[in-house]
Amino acid sequence: MSLAHLNGGQQLAVKYYIVAVVLFVAQILFGLLSGIQYLEPDFLQGLLNFNITRTVHINAMIVWMLYGFIGSVYWLLEEESETEIVGLKLGNLGFWVLTSAVTVVVLVFLFIQTGPGDDFTRWFINEGREYIEAPRWADIGIVICMLIFFYNVAATFSKGKWSGIAGVLTLDLVALAGIYLAGMFYTTNISVDQYWWWWVIHLWVEATWEVLVGCLMAWGLMKTLGVSRKIVTTWLYIEVALMFGSGILGIGHHYFWIGTPEYWFSIGGLFSALEPVPLVAMVVHAVYDSGVRHSKGNNNPALAWLIAHAFGNFFGAGVWGFMHTLPQINLFTHGTQWSASHGHLAFFGAYATIIIAMFYIAAQYVRGQSSFGPATLGSGWKWKWALGLLNLGVVGMTVALLISGYEQSFIERAVGGSTWMGYFAAQIHPWFIQGMEWRMVFGLVTTAGIVLLVWDLLTIGKSRVVEQSRVTQTVS
Amino acid sequence: MIEPVELKDFFIVFFSGAMIIMSGALYALLFAWSRLQSKPWMMATAYGSYGILFISVLTLGSAAHLNGFWWWLVIAMLVGYLLAPHGIWKLCVGTHTADENAYPPVSAEETDNSETSLKSNSQKEAI
C-alpha cells in the first residue's frame, strides 16, 4: 500500500487507523470470550479469567476509539490548517510510545491476572478503575502522548490557518488531556475516588468526545456532501453549547448512588433530561439540510456510516439513556445489564460509526479515488453487508442485554433488595440466561460484520486502481 | 428526596421514557418537514406527536412520582420539547440565510404564497 501521495499528517493518521482496527477486532474477540464465560463460567477458567477478558474488552474499546479520534484529527490537520504538520517526527514518536505502552499493558493484563492490590500493582500492573485500568506508568505515558498530540494540533493551526473547527478542536483537546488527570490519583475513600473517576468517564464520553465527534462530523459533512463551511461551523458552535450546557452537569446521573450529597439527584435528573435536546436539534437540522440542499455524496460507505451515526447516537444515547436516567428508576437499573445495553448501543452509535466513516474517507484518498460510488465500487456488497451485520449485531446485543437487565432490575434489585441472594437469583433466572444466549448469537453476527469490514477496508477501491494502472501501461 | 418507582410501574416508566424521546424526535421531524414542504396538514400530525409526548411525560411523572421539585422537570420537558424545534428552525433559517449559496424556505405559517417554498428555491437555482 503506497502512501507517498498522502501528506505527513495523513500518513501518520493511517498508522493510528491500522492500530485502531486491530484493537477494534481485539475488542470484539474479547467480548465474545466474555460472553461465552457468562454462559459457561468454567470456560478458560484459570487461563484467561472473566475479569481479564472483560477488562481487555472494554479497555480495547476506549483505546481503539482514542486511536480513531487521534488518527482522524491527524488526517484533517494539514488540510484544515493549510500548512505542513509542525512536529511530524514528534507525532511519530508519540504513536510508537503509545502503541508500545498499550501492547505492554495488555500483555501484563494477560500474564499477571491475580495478585495483591498495593502501591506496586497500582503503578505497574493495574490501577483498578473500570475502563481505565492501565497502571500509572502507562497513564503518565498516555498523558505525555496526548500532550504531544495537543502540541502538534495547536502549533500546526498556529503556524497555518485557524478556523472554527480548528478552534473548537484545540480547546477540546485541552479538556481531553486535562480531564484524564482526574483518574490518576489514589484516595482511600471510595466515594471520593468514584467522584473523580466519573470526571474521566462521563466528561470524556459525554462532553469532550462528543465535541470531538462534532468537529469530525462538521469536517466529514463538508467532505462527503460539500456542505458550506460557514454553516457547519455555526452549527458546531450551537451543538457545542447545547452539549456542554446539558452534558457537564449531566454527570450528576452518575453521582446518585456513590455517597455524594442528595442535591445530585435534582441536578443529575434535570440535566440528564436535557441531554436529548441536542439530538432533537440534530433531527430538525438534518431534515432542513436534506430538503434544502439535495446534496449528493461522493463517498457512499462514509455517508452510510454517518447516517448510522445519527440514528445510533439518537437511540443509544437518547432513548436508551433517558429510559433509566431518573433516580426514581435508576435506583433499580444502575450497574445491571441495563447499563451494558445502553453502553453497547451508545458507544457504537455515537463513536464507532463516525470513526468507521472516517476510515472510509481515508480509504478513498489512500486508493486515489475521486469518489466511492457505484462507478468505482460496483455493487459494494462488502461494505453494505459489513454495515448491515455490524448494526444488526449491536442492536441485537442491545435488545438481548435489555431483557437480561430488565429481569435483573426486577429480581435482583426490586424483589431481592440488592442482596447477594437477589443477585444470584437473578443470574440463574431463565430470562437472564436466555438474554445472554441471544447476546452471544448477535455477538457472532457482529464478529461476521467486523471480518467483512476489515476485508472491505483492505480491498475497497483497489481493483479500480489496478485496472487504471493497467490501462495507463497499455496506452503508454 | 425521591420516591422510588413501584415494581408494578417499571414497564410504564421505561416505556413512557422511551416514548418521550421518540415522540419528541417525531414531533421535531414532522415539524421541520411540514415547514419545509409547506404542508399545513403535516403540522397537525407534528402536534399530534407532541400530544403523545405530552401524555408520555404526564404518565412518566405519575409513575415515577415526580412530585414537589420534580414537577418542575415535567414542566421543563413539556415546554422545552414544544419550543425547541421552533428555536432550532429559526436558527436553521438564520444560518442558511447567512450563507450566500443557500435559499432558505419560508414556512407555510409565514406566508400563504407557496411559490416561496422549497420548490421555488429549486427553480431559482435552475434559473
A366 and A6 in contact (C-beta within 8 Å)? yes
Return the percentage of chain A with pLDDT > 70, whole number: 96
Residues in chain B where the model's pLDDT stays below 70? 98-127
Q: What pLDDT is stored for residue B125 in this prediction?
A: 37
Angle at A351 between CA A345 and CA A356, to 5 degrees: 110
Bigger pLDDT: A270 vs A375: A270
ipTM of the complex: 0.83
Angle between helices A381-408 and A430-459 (to 10 degrees): 160
Kindly provide the b/e burial profile for residues A319-338, where b requires at least 16 CB atoms within 10 angstroms of the residue's own CB: bbbbbbbbbbbbbbbbebbb
The shortest C-alpha distance from A128 to chain B (Å) reads 31
A371 and A304 in contact (C-beta within 8 Å)? no
Q: What pLDDT is stored for residue A385 in this prediction?
A: 97
Cβ contact, residue pair B32, A287, below 8 Å? yes
Is B78 within 8 Å of chain A by CB?
A: no
Asked whether residue A363 carries a pLDDT value surpassing 90, the answer given is yes
Q: Can you tell me the mean pLDDT for A25-44?
A: 96
The shortest C-alpha distance from A151 to chain B (Å) reads 32
Kindly provide the b/e burial profile for residues A203-234, where b requires at least 16 CB atoms within 10 angstroms of the residue's own CB: bbbbbbbbbbbbbbbbbbbbbbbebbebbbbb
Q: Alpha carbon B2 to chain centroid distance? A: 29
Question: Among A41-50, A290-299, A317-326, A420-429, where is mean pLDDT lowest?
Answer: A290-299
B27 and B80 in contact (C-beta within 8 Å)? no
Cβ contact, residue pair B7, A285, below 8 Å? no
- For residues A290 and A108, give the distance between their C-alpha atoms in angstroms, rounded to a whole number: 50
At A113, is the secondary structure helix, strand, or coil? coil
Task: State the CB neighbour count (10 A cutoff) for residue B101.
Answer: 10
Task: State the CB neighbour count (10 A cutoff) for residue B3.
Answer: 12
Cβ contact, residue pair B92, A284, below 8 Å? yes
What is the tens place of the pLDDT at every residue in A50-71? Answer: 999 999 999 999 999 999 999 9
- For residues A317 and A206, give the distance between their C-alpha atoms in angstroms, rounded to a whole number: 9
Q: Can you tell me the mean pLDDT for A348-362?
A: 94
C-alpha cell at B80: 422545552
Residue type, A202: H
Asked whether residue A336 carries a pLDDT value surpassing 80, the answer given is yes
C-alpha cell at B3: 420516591
Q: What pLDDT is stored for residue A472 in this prediction?
A: 61
Q: What pLDDT is stored for residue A475 in this prediction?
A: 62
Q: What pLDDT is stored for residue B119 in this prediction?
A: 39
Asked whether residue A473 carries a pLDDT value surpassing 70, the answer given is no
Radius of gyration from C-alpha coordinates of chain A:
22
Q: What pLDDT is stored for residue A232 in this prediction?
A: 84
Out of B18, B21, B84, closest to residue A281 by CB: B84
Q: What pLDDT is stored for residue B99 in this prediction?
A: 64
Mean pLDDT of chain A: 90
Residue type, A248: I
Q: What pLDDT is stored for residue A469 in this prediction?
A: 60
The shortest C-alpha distance from B127 to chain A (Å) reads 16
What is the tens place of the pLDDT at every residue in A376-397? Answer: 777 889 999 999 999 999 999 9
Is B82 within 8 Å of chain A by CB?
A: no
Q: What pLDDT is stored for residue A313 in this prediction?
A: 87
Bigger pLDDT: A346 vs B95: A346
What is the tens place of the pLDDT at every residue in A286-321? Answer: 777 766 666 567 888 998 998 898 889 889 988 999
Cβ contact, residue pair A284, B89, below 8 Å? yes
- For residues A316 and A431, give the distance between their C-alpha atoms in angstroms, rounded to a whole number: 23
B13 and B5 in contact (C-beta within 8 Å)? yes
What is the tens place of the pLDDT at every residue in A439-465? Answer: 999 999 999 999 999 999 999 988 765
What is the tens place of the pLDDT at every residue in A73-117? Answer: 999 999 999 999 999 999 999 999 999 999 999 999 999 988 888
Q: What pLDDT is stored for residue A388 in this prediction?
A: 97
Listed by number, the residues of chain A in 1-40 with a beta carbon closer than 8 Å to a beta carbon of chain B are none
Q: Which residues, including other chains, have CB under 8 Å from residue A265's CB and lie 6 or more apart?
A: A252, A256, A327, B1, B2
Q: What pLDDT is stored for residue A311 in this prediction?
A: 87
